[in-house]
Structure 1
Amino acid sequence: MCVRFWGRRNMVNSAVGVEHFNNTEPVLLSEVIHDVLGVNYEGFKELIWLGAIYVNNYRQTKDKWILEPNSVFRVHTKPRRYPCDYDWKSLVVFQNESFLVLNKPSGIPSHPSVDNAIEDALTQTSLALKVPLLVTHRLDTLTSGLIVYGKQKSFVKNFNIQMLERHVQKKYSALVETADTLPKSLTHYMDPAPGTPKKLSAGYNEGWEICKLEILEQKEMSPGTKWVKINLITGRTHQIRAQMAFLNAPIVGDRLYGAKNAYRANAIALKSHQIEFSFDGKSMKFQLPEDVIQ
């Protein structure tokens, strides 16, 4: 069958690997991906497995006929890949019927991404335990440490309320590139525009989001490198990374924010080592060692 297409366009630079196109008649998904993009069936199966193919903004999970003409196809032809060969059960710090706490490795997202719905901590832990898990909060891909996942929607709702009211206490440890004594309290304002690196201002800008944290402890580890213990008060995207860089004290390994020294592969020297919140009328506190390997 000869399939006719119109309107194929690169909505994003092709180097990023996102392709958009439309159909004019019913098509089999695997065939249209091959005819338009030149992806063979093995490649198609991998993209489907990763969740990198969308039709009319819905993620596709199997090969099927697309009957509606003028459907919008979006294919992430170069999905980001992440190492996930871990014993995920052994990384569970605590669990009950409502939630679990995981010690997330660095180098893997905490939740599914738009181009990869498989290689992330939530999905891998869910598959390992055979229990569906729900997002409550996030950790950056390059950050390691404690993260909470819900098992029940009622827990997630309550946890989110605690987050909004700043009743969830999060502490981080990090290695930063500085010889200076850092202030004990930091307040900045973050540009809400999407994308990274995040832009900060020391003064108030209308519409910018307030960022607050406290440096509870700091000590020199080697010339030009300090260990710091941080109490995160607000929780913006890349907040700790951006605020440390704003002080000319970027986190070791954080090239995006100007770090000069390398850290481990797919990691920065930042760890979520403590989280505390309320559950069923009780305080729940979970902790990892505060050290960050230099």
Structure 2
Amino acid sequence: MSPAFTWVTLTKTIQVFGKGGDTIDIPILFEDNHLLVVEKPVNVPVQEDESGDDDLLTILKRDIKIRYEKPGNVYLGLVHRLDRPVGGVMVFAKTSKAASRLSDQIRRNAMEKYYLTIIRGEMDAPRAKLENYLVKDRRKNEVYVVGKDNKHGKEAELEYEVKEEEAGMSLLEIDLHTGRPHQIRVQLAHLGTPIYGDQKYGQNVNHPGQQIALWSHRLVLTHPVKKEDMTFTSYPPDTYPWNIWPAYISE
């Protein structure tokens, strides 16, 4: 018998004040005693970095502390990451047991992660698997495709499906099998089809000020305690170039 899936929709939006006084809206897709699933805003770092800007993990901890009037430190486990310019669905663990079980799902590739992205150009095939080896230059914070014989190379694998093509661009759905840093961005740029707005890996065709068109669209996971299979979905905003294809944007 196939597992019963729970499809989750938006439950509420929390509004927090940033360090500069600006407000940040964070939609909550699901929350119980074990999980917190949110829609990450674009250009907000997932965790504290050298910029000193508000980060999502700290914001959410602060919100939980205030909403539930919790004394002392609040636990919230970070089990996966999104690049700062990327928005979309993320799951956090509210207990150490949940964090451990979610991390185990990721290690076993049992958590399915799907992205939407818009690339410059067209793919050679309507769907395919991309397999490369990647090396990260930590000093430059850049990732490169290397040969299989490179001892520092880490295997990176994803599958893509072309959903739409128009105006010299293509909308893809990505099924991410491994979670290497900048993986989707690097593998697509390596084919000569960089992501729209990606300043790091598509600087020859993109321009400053363009928002990268990469969105964490769907997570499929098993609840760490209830053992139910759950699907969480988030759609890109109604902005260019996403709004070229209205069926794929948030209402």
State the TM-score, normalizing by the size of structure 1: 0.65
In structure 1, C-alpha distance between the alignment counterparts of 2:81 and 2:107, rounded to whole Å: 14
Query: Is residue 134–residue 155 contact of structure 2 (8 Å, CA) maintained in 1?
Result: yes
Task: Call closer, same or farther: CA 1:82–1:232 in 2, change over 3 Å.
Answer: farther
In structure 2, C-alpha distance between the alignment counterparts of 1:232 and 1:192, rounded to whole Å: 18
Kindly provide the amino acid, as one letter, of the partner of residue 37 in structure 2: V
- Which residue in 1 is equivalent to 2:132? 188
81, 98, 109: which one aligns with 2:45: 109
- Which residue in 2 is equivalent to 1:75? none
Task: Call closer, same or farther: CA 1:230–1:196 in 2, change over 3 Å.
Answer: same
When structure 1 is superposed on structure 2, of 213-222 and 256-265 the one drifting more is 256-265
Query: Is residue 278–residue 284 contact of structure 1 (8 Å, CA) maintained in 2?
Result: yes
* Structure 1 residue ranges without an equivalent (≥5): 1-49, 51-80
16, 21, 25: which one aligns with 1:87: 25
Find the structure with the greater CA-based Rg.
1
User: Which one has more relative contact order, counting CA pairs under 8 Å at least 6 apart?
Assistant: 2
In structure 1, C-alpha distance between the alignment counterparts of 2:20 and 2:212, rounded to whole Å: 15
Secondary structure, aligned partner of 1:86: strand
Task: Call closer, same or farther: CA 1:84–1:257 in 2, change over 3 Å.
Answer: farther
- Which residue in 2 is equivalent to 1:284? 230
Alignment partner of 1:128 is 2:63: yes
State the TM-score, normalizing by the size of structure 2: 0.76
Deviant stretches of 4+, over 6 Å: 81-84
Matches within 5 A, 1:175-254: 175-182=118-125, 184-194=128-138, 195-201=140-146, 203-222=148-167, 224-254=168-198
- Which residue in 2 is equivalent to 1:256? 200
In structure 2, C-alpha distance between the alignment counterparts of 1:272 and 1:110, rounded to whole Å: 13
- Which residue in 2 is equivalent to 1:47? none
Matches within 5 A, 1:28-177: 85-88=23-26, 91-114=27-50, 116=52, 119-130=54-65, 132-177=75-120
Query: Is residue 133–residue 148 contact of structure 2 (8 Å, CA) maintained in 1?
Result: yes
In structure 2, C-alpha distance between the alignment counterparts of 1:172 and 1:125, rounded to whole Å: 23
Query: Is residue 84–residue 120 contact of structure 1 (8 Å, CA) maintained in 2?
Result: no
In structure 2, C-alpha distance between the alignment counterparts of 1:255 and 1:82, rounded to whole Å: 25
In structure 2, C-alpha distance between the alignment counterparts of 1:236 and 1:82, rounded to whole Å: 32
In structure 2, C-alpha distance between the alignment counterparts of 1:202 and 1:243, rounded to whole Å: 13
Report Cα offsets for 1:202-255 as digits up to 9, x if no partner: 544223100000003332131x21100000000000000100100111110001
Kindly provide the amino acid, as one letter, of the partner of residue 167 in structure 1: A
Query: Is residue 144–residue 186 contact of structure 2 (8 Å, CA) maintained in 1?
Result: yes
Report Cα offsets for 1:19-70 as digits up to 9, x if no partner: xxxxxxxxxxxxxxxxxxxxxxxxxxxxxxx9xxxxxxxxxxxxxxxxxxxx
In structure 2, C-alpha distance between the alignment counterparts of 1:188 and 1:82, rounded to whole Å: 41
Query: Is residue 197–residue 242 contact of structure 1 (8 Å, CA) maintained in 2?
Result: no
Secondary structure, aligned partner of 1:128: helix
Query: Is residue 277–residue 285 contact of structure 1 (8 Å, CA) maintained in 2?
Result: yes
* Structure 2 residue ranges without an equivalent (≥5): 1-17, 66-73, 245-251
In structure 2, C-alpha distance between the alignment counterparts of 1:127 and 1:287, rounded to whole Å: 24
In structure 2, C-alpha distance between the alignment counterparts of 1:82 and 1:253, rounded to whole Å: 26
Secondary structure, aligned partner of 1:273: strand
What RMSD in Å do the two structures reach over aligned CA positions?
A: 2.5
Q: Cα distance, 1:282 vs. partner?
A: 1.1
